[in-house]
Structure 1
Amino acid sequence: MVKNAFITIISQEQKEENKGSVEFQVFSFTNKIQRLTSHLKLHRKDYLSQRGLRKILGKRQRLLAYLSKKNRVRYKELIGRLDIREPKTR
């Protein structure tokens, strides 16, 4: 589940220092999303987990929008590493 490419780039000491960075938060939300989607494949009627998944998706989307506005290069690099689709524009 965990993306090995992203973990190798962030060493153990950098994780402790950068837990507040946008990249680390998006990475942790992505891991939670993957765990919840695998859980929901088995338990389709777990509505509380569905709600939690939607909340985490919203948080990750807001963080990605923030990063997109602040630093487009870091945003593109993060999306490429985590294999996240870019949101559709209206």
Structure 2
Amino acid sequence: MSINIQEIIKEYQSKIGDTGSTNVQVALLTARIRHLTKHFKTHKKDHHSRRGLLHLVSQRKKLLTYLRGNNKTAYSKLISHLELRK
């Protein structure tokens, strides 16, 4: 399984050419985190990649904290669309 980056960017961009906004970054990180989570179901002892996963989760958390502070409506819409919190 590979991550289709272009589809994710098209779905979450606010305007054409927007690849670095917080929404796009969080969506891409979420896709990578989900991909690595599936990887760990079969490769339980891959501790080097697990360290990378923890870094991605930390980076996503920082971006979500920033988004929550600056734009609460975009934050709540993104959280519900990505199904991150219940």
Shorter-chain TM-score bucket reads 0.7 to 0.9
Which residue does 1:60 correspond to in 2?
Answer: 60
User: Helix, strand or coil: the match of 2:69?
Assistant: helix
- For residues 45 and 10 of structure 1, the distance between their equivalents in structure 2, rounded to whole angstroms, comes to 34
CA deviation map 1:14-70 (0-9, x unaligned): 3xx111100000000001001100000100000011000000000000000000000
Query: What TM-score do you get using the length of structure 1 for normalisation?
Result: 0.79
User: Contact 2:79 / 2:85 at 8 angstroms: preserved in 1?
Assistant: yes
Q: For structure 2, which runs of at least 5 residues remain unmatched after alignment? A: none
Q: How many residues align?
A: 80
Which letter maps to 2:84? I
- With a CA cutoff of 8 Å and minimum separation of 6, indicate the structure with the bigger relative contact order: 1
- For residues 12 and 64 of structure 2, the distance between their equivalents in structure 1, rounded to whole angstroms, comes to 19
Deviation at residue 85 of structure 1 after TM alignment = 1.4
Percent identity at matched positions? 38
Q: Residues 55 and 79 (structure 1 numbering): CA distance in 2 closer, same or farther, change over 3 Å?
A: same
1:1-90 pair list within 5 angstroms? 7=8, 9-10=11-12, 14=16, 17-85=17-85
Q: Which runs of 4+ in 1 moved over 2 A?
A: 6-11
User: Contact 2:12 / 2:23 at 8 angstroms: preserved in 1?
Assistant: no
Q: For structure 1, which runs of at least 5 residues remain unmatched after alignment? A: none
